[in-house]
Each structure stands twice: as structure tokens, then as C-alpha cells.
Amino acid sequence: MLSDIYIALPHTLVLWSYALLLIFGLARGHNSLTAIAVSLITIDSLWNLNMSSQDMSLHIASDLVTIGLISVVFLKMKRGPFRLLWLGVGFLVFLGLHSQFNFTKEMKAEQDDTIDLLLQFDNTVALEQWIAKYKNKYEMSYPLFEPMDNSFLLDEYLGLSLKDNEDITSTLVALAQLPEIIHIERNDEVRINEALNDPQLSRQWTSEQHRLNDFHKLLADRQSQMKEKESVIAILDTGIDANHEDLIGNYKSTSKRYDTDVKGHGTHCAGIAAAVSGNGIGIASFLPPNSEVKVTSIKVLNNFGMGTQKTIIEGIIKAADTKCDVISLSLGGISSDKKELAYNEAVKYARAKGSIVVVAAGNSGSDASKYSPANSLGVIAVTATDTLMRKAAFGNDVSSIKMGLGAPGTQIYSTFPQDAYKSFDGSSMSAPFVSGLIGLMRSYDKQLTSKQAFSILKKSADIKDGLYIVNPLAAMQFFLKEHLGS
């Protein structure tokens, strides 16, 4: 909750300045000043909120009632230090209540995303003019994305929700004729890609195949020569069981509402990327004991493992804005548009903020270039390989992807909610395998780029039938010697 309050703070300060204006007007008996203050608070709330009318009314009412009560108490108090102290206390109360409505808004957006189309405009002026012109015809959502940096094109998108009797195809055709709209795409449904001394290490076939003990020995031998810096891997999924016995030591919370996982998919991915090694519990990952590499959760899929393009993009933006080093996406769907520009812009934004984006290539046994967000520009797409180190039968072909790799994705044993462990198949398991390795490299070199990471993994890979299959030990040896020069 503290993180939610922190994000809401700048806007709350603006409202609080209006509140001080109101208190001054009441204290001095200036009715016109009081009226101006109330008007400013109301206009600000109407302008900034993107809720239903009922939620908006509750929010404004809460702000006005809170400010009113603070003002009444202030006026009843005698002049002196306690009067000023009361203003400070009143501000903290107002901050908490105002932020709580923002928190409720975010939760509602996660649970009830009914947007059908994503519209991109040439600029925000044209967008706002279009909203004013068509506000009575369409149900709109704006701002659709709220990145901290608006120098990208993400603030030029508008969400459109269609009524049950409206045909999406005919609406697309009609909107495409409007010159101010430069791009339209469906808000596609996205879903999960299902398909040491750690006591259950023997159940991880990848530990023997990829010489996990030798991998950790390599790191231990170089430990005195290298210093780790914190590196954060964001799992954008169904959430993560933050209290799992084999994750808690490497877990960093972004928000409490992301720290549970009903479905279990996100927790399974987190264990592959960042299970605590050498703790005498459960399984092991590439991360050494007492590692500075942490895993965090940003929930973009619901408890059934489903989400939309909008929720995924919002998650990418949040991960980038919170300075995550690696963004791991074990999800996707078949592209319904030739170009999904919103995904491309979101990945571009994340990379500009310093994040490396790793995506599962999909499990349809087809071309990954037809699968989003694996086909987005700038991502490292990972397909599944089997126990014989061949592309899994269900794995998508990444040969047409600019940065495509293969990694284990069958019979992958990992963490599951409530201190359990399970085996799953799918490229969902392959992506965090690569994310964990890149996250570790990032802890030694915070300037490592997507292209550099891919180059290291490709040059050290095992090649089978044209597929570059990640070899973790060889990759780390190459990274330490050729990249770091140690």
C-alpha cells in the first residue's frame, strides 16, 4: 500500500494546495475564495479520474468531505502550534483516503477489462478533440496507459468498449476511414502458455543436463573477484506466492496485491528463474546462495490465467517504470493484426528504460512470428526444447524471429503455491529459464543490453536443426571471459 500512496503523492499535493486555499477562505470569511477552492477540487477530480460515474462521485465526495472535516476542526482550534500540527495530521489522513481510491481503481481495472479496441492517434490534441466529438457515441477509456515518461507514443492510445450489439469488424472498418486515427488493433485476449543440497534437485532433469553444480562452482570460484548489484526479474503472470519456502529468500514485493497466486502459473515460472539455491529446501536455480538477484511479481493475468493486450502492456510499463532489469512474459496469443504497434511501443519503452524483455514463443507448433508478444520487435523469444535437447513437438518455430532461442520446456519441475512443487510443459517454462540467466548476468553488468545478452546466449549455444539452444554453463563462461574479461 505504501507504494500506491507514493505513486499518488504528486496529484495529492495538488489537491492539498486547493484544500489550503479552501481553509484560508473559510478562516478569513472569503466566500468567493472558498467557492474557487471547491470548484478547483471538483474540476481536478473530474479531469483526472477515469472511472464509472458512481466511482467518480464517491471519489469527489470523499475528497470534499475529508477536506471539509479537516477545515471545520482547524477553524474550531485556537491559534498556535497545535493548529499547524493539525494541518500536518490532516494532510496524512487526506493522503491515505485519496490514495485508497486510486488503489481501488487499479484493482477494478485488473478485474474488469472490457476494452475491445486500441486506437492510436497522431497526437494527443487530435485524440482529445476526437473524444469531445464522439464521447456520446462510444464508451472510451483514456488515458489508456500511464507511463512515467510520455516522450513515447503510449499516451496517444485510446481504449474503446463496444456494446453487445455492435459488430467489431464493421466498427473497425468505419473507424479506419477517420484520418485522425493512424492505427487500430483489437485488444486481444492473452493467456498462459501451458502445455546443490536442494533435496528435490534430482527431479530437475535440467540440473544434470546443464551441469548445475558446475555452474554454481564457476560462480563460487569467481565470487571474490566480482561484486553483484541488485538485479530484479519481473514475472508478469498470475501473481507469485511470495511466502513460498523456496522463493521467499529471493522475493522482492512490488505490491502486496501481486503477492498471491491462485492459478500457480506465475509461482512456477518464478521458481525456474529464481528459486533459492543451496538452502536445503526444494529445488535450485542458476542464482547462487545469498544472491543479489531478486524476483518480483506484476499480476497481468486473472485467476484463470487470462488477460488482454492492454493488461500486458500496462504490466510492461509498470515493470519498466520500477526499474526491473528483466521482464519475463510466459503468455501470448495468435496475432489478429499484421502489426501490433502497441506491443512494439511498450517493448521499445521498456528497453529505453533499461529492461530486457524475454517472451515465451508459444505452443502451437507453428511460426512464432504469428504469435504475440513473441513477435514484438526487440524481445528475446524462447521456444521449448525437450529432454533430448530438441525443439519440443508443440514448440513454435523461432527461426523467423530476430532474437529467437530454445530452452527446456518439458517436464519442468518447479515451485507451486503453498510450498508445493509440480511439473509443467510449455514455452512458459522456457522463458523464465532464460530470464533467470540474464538476470544473473545483469547483476554483474547493469549496462548489459538485450542485444548483448542475446549475442552471448547465441554464441555459446548448442545448435540443433538450426535452433540455438541455451547452454547456461557455456554462456556464463563466455560472459565472464569475453564480456567482463575476468
Cell numbers at residue 476, please?
A: 556464463
CB neighbour list of residue 485: distance below 8 Å, 6 or more residues apart? none
Residue 359 CA, chain-centre distance (Å), reads 13
E runs forming strands in 129-226: 139-141, 157-161, 181-186, 189-192
Q: Which residue numbers are catalytic? A: 237, 265, 428
Instruction: List own/partner pairs for 444-447 with CB under 8 A and 24 or more apart.
Output: 444/226, 444/228, 444/229, 444/479, 444/484, 445/483, 445/484, 446/229, 446/231, 446/325
Cα torsion 79, 81, 86, 88: sign: positive
| Contact between residue 298 and residue 318 where contact means Cβ atoms under 8 Å apart | yes
Residue 239 is placed in which grid cell? 501473481
Q: Name the residue with cell 515465451.
A: 360
Q: What is the spatial distance between Cα 74 and Cα 276, in angstroms, rounded to a whole number?
A: 53
Are the C-beta atoms of 292 and 226 separated by less than 8 Å? no
Question: What is the rounded distance in angstroms from the CA atom of residue 276 to the CA atom of residue 430?
Answer: 18
The grid cell for 286 is 542458476
The residues, ordered by sequence, that sit 6+ positions from 272 with a Cβ below 8 Å of its Cβ are 285, 412, 414, 429, 432, 433, 436
Residues of 178-213 as b/e, b for ≥16 C-beta within 10 angstroms? eeebebbbbbbebbbbebbebebbeebbbbeebbbe
Tell me which residue has cell 548489459.
448
Distance CA 486, CA 343 (A): 37
Task: Assess contact for 59 and 8: CB atoms under 8 A.
Answer: no
Eight-state DSSP code of residue 239: -
Q: Which three cell numbers stand for residue 55?
A: 466511482
Contact present, 360 and 430 (Cβ < 8 Å): yes
404 forms beta bridges with: 381
Per-residue H/E/C for 171-188 = HHHHHHCCCCEEEEEECC
Burial label for 4, CB within 10 Å (0-12, 13-18, 19+), is middle
